[in-house]
Amino acid sequence: DAKTTQPNSMESNEEEPVHLPCNHSTISGTDYIHWYRQLPSQGPEYVIHGLTSNVNNRMASLAIAEDRKSSTLILHRATLRDAAVYYCILRTYSGGGADGLTFGKGTHLIIQP
């Protein structure tokens, strides 16, 4: 399975932008970059995903490096509700429809008021 590397934790202030980095140097051409977040005692929540181009949605933006070996999740204006563990995952579409996501340890994002 392709692996990702994320910092264990990051801290930011409320109402400031947050940039969460992810390295995936062994990414293959068919891997999509997915981001999920998990609040305490809740199931993971889909945030955003992309292949090559930068992506925006109502929750966040995803900036993908030109060589696709790294990406950055951008929360434009962090709130206390954004405090969570953020997971960067590569979704590989293998033959036969098998595509279980492999979660790493993620980045624990702390938001200071």
Partner 1 sequence: DSGVTQTPKHLITATGQRVTLRCSPRSGDLSVYWYQQSLDQGLQFLIQYYNGEERAKGNILERFSAQQFPDLHSELNLSSLELGDSALYFCASSNLGSNYGYTFGSGTRLTVV
Residues forming the site for partner 1 (CB under 8 A): 32, 34, 36, 38, 41-46, 49, 51, 87, 93, 96-105
- Residue pair 58/45 in contact (Cβ under 8 Å)? The answer is no
Minimum Å gap between C-beta 15 and partner 1 is 27
Q: In this complex, which beta carbon is closest to partner 1, that of residue 21 or of residue 103?
A: 103
Q: In this complex, which beta carbon is closest to partner 1, that of residue 11 or of residue 45?
A: 45
Minimum Å gap between C-beta 49 and partner 1 is 6
DSSP strands (E only) in 4-106: 9-13, 18-23, 32-38, 45-50, 55-56, 61-64, 70-75, 84-91
Tokens 């929360």 -> residue: 75
Q: In this complex, which beta carbon is closest to partner 1, that of residue 54 or of residue 102?
A: 102
Minimum Å gap between C-beta 113 and partner 1 is 27
Distance of CA 50 to the CA centre of its chain: 10
